[in-house]
Amino acid sequence: MLFLFLRKYFKSNFKLLIVKELIFVIIGNGVAGFNAAQSLIKGAPTDSKILMFSSEKYGFYLRPKLYEFLRQDLKIEDVISYSKEYYSKLGIELHLEEEIIAISPKDKIVISTVKQYSYDRLLLANGAECYCPVVPGINLLNSFSLRSLDDAIAIRTRMKTSKQAVIIGGGLLGLEVASACAERGLNTSVIEFFPYLLPRQLDAEGGKILQNILEKNQNITFYLGVKVQEILGKDHVEGIKLLDGIIIPTDIVMTCTGITPRIDIFKKIGMKTNRGVIVNDFLETSIQDIYAAGDIAEHGGKVYGIIPPSIEQAKVAAQNMMKPRSVKYTGSKLSTSIKVTKLLVTSIDYIGKEEELKYSQRKFLIPNEDIYCKIFLDQDIIKSAIIIGTKNGISLLKGNIGSSYKSIEEELNQLFSETK
């Protein structure tokens, strides 16, 4: 009798014992979307579905690969890290050239350019687009921005028949594009609104040192602390006119002046946004069961716009999509090592000009080797650092942020030649 009772009980309540399979939808196939999908594959309940949507026609690729695509004659398949077949093997349903154009949180559906799909948990990872300043002529033929592989294909095609190039923006992207143009033999100029290069990663002195290296090694001309008044030409680009009246002849212009998160469709459904989609410490948006990560997410007032935080956010968002509010995101360290035209530039917790005004500094400089290091100190405590041209000291300084400078002073002196 007991056996019959238990069999009847478990048969009628079997569904309650099954872990519910979920439908995870990810909008975007960039760094954040791809890393979130990988985390979901590893940890989601069996038979859960993962759907990814991208307006592009390619599988996953890293955006820094686009610089190499411009610089060299790489094939498209050399840029793409994972093809559509790879997603199928993992069990991810990838929808390429299918853009999500609307969301209905009430019905828990997303609507694409093809059809509508249900979701249990939704991740916004559709990133950002290039910010283009509002100047006359910005939409002329041969005026470009670089955000996608299709952009890179169009730019490289034009570069091959160009003699002069102007890049608007002296940040990381602008310098990489300028380097690619210079290496292809174009007479290359860079226009930057700030008075020095890489204003997000370097101090003024570091920016000037980097400029000197690029001028010496790549023959790039820089116009700093200036604004573009107009892009000249009737049908196609013929030159750039600066606000001070200087005219720079060119037959190709590339705008590299930052990013704008793609938030328009989320505003329409009442989601809280500012510069990006506002998320809390669980990377939840203001609408239940919708999360955000990567270039579109604004956490603690910051849109990071770089790869390492996108990966960190993607993994946290995925964990919370599987098990809500199980993992907190406390922000990302602004410590990055980046290659600027083959030159290593490292910024460790540096947040801008206020560091120069607020903290004392210790500087190391080896001019003949193009090596520069500056450490910012609050009395004796290391707050941040900048290093150009070497791997030396990176691990040491990263591991000692918040520690006493005196504890590593001798080791630093062995790595660098100090200048007062």
Query: So what's the pLDDT on residue 352?
Result: 80
Task: Render pLDDT for 9-39 as a digit per residue (tens, 0 to 9).
Answer: 444 444 434 446 899 999 999 999 999 999 9
Res 18: pLDDT: 41
Interval 185-193 mean pLDDT: 97
Give residue 417's pLDDT. Answer: 62
Confidence of residue 221 (pLDDT cuts 50, 70, 90): very high
Instruction: Give Cα 176 distance to the centre of its chain.
Output: 14
The least confident of 263-272, 322-331, 348-357, 387-396 is: 348-357
Tell me the whole-structure pTM to 2 decimals: 0.90
Which burial class, exposed, middle or buried, applies to 86 when counting CB atoms under 10 A from its CB (0-12, 13-18, 19+)?
middle
Percent of the chain past pLDDT 90, that is, above it, reads 83
pLDDT band at 358; cut points 50, 70, 90: confident
Would you state the pLDDT for residue 42? 93
Task: Determine the pLDDT at residue 10.
Answer: 46
pLDDT band for position 6 (cuts 50, 70, 90): very low
Using CA atoms, how far apart are residues 113 and 102, in angstroms rounded to an integer? Answer: 9
Residues 382-415 as b or e (16 or more Cβ within 10 Å = b): bbbbbbbbbebbbeebeebeeeebeebeeebeeb
Distance CA 420, CA 418 (A): 7
Contact 81, 38 (CB under 8 A): no
Task: State the pLDDT at residue 419.
Answer: 46
Please answer whether residues 169 and 255 qualify as being in contact, where contact means their C-beta atoms are separated by less than 8 angstroms. yes
Assess whether pLDDT exceeds 60 at residue 55: yes
- The better pLDDT of the pair 342, 182 is held by 182
Q: pLDDT tens, 144-184? A: 999 999 999 999 999 999 999 999 999 989 999 999 999 99
Query: Radius of gyration over alpha carbons of the chain, in Å?
Result: 25
| Count of C-beta atoms within a 10 Å radius of residue 328 | 12
Question: Considering only CA atoms, which of 52, 13, 11 is closest in space to residue 34?
Answer: 52
Residue 324 in this model has a pLDDT that exceeds 90: yes
All structural domains of the chain, each given as residue ranges with its CATH number in brackets, are 18-129+259-322 (3.50.50.60), 143-255 (3.50.50.60), 335-415 (3.30.390)
340 pLDDT higher than 90: no
Q: What is the pLDDT of residues 98-144, one digit of tens each?
A: 999 999 999 999 999 999 999 999 999 999 999 989 999 999 999 99
- Averaged over 291-310, what is the pLDDT? 96
Q: What is the pLDDT of residues 237-277, one digit of tens each?
A: 999 999 999 999 999 999 999 999 999 999 999 999 999 99
For residue range 73-103, what is the model confidence (pLDDT) as tens digits?
999 999 999 998 999 999 999 999 999 999 9
The pLDDT confidence band at residue 338, using thresholds 50, 70 and 90, is confident
β-strand partners of 284: 291
**CA torsion angle 308 311 314 316 (round to 10):** -80
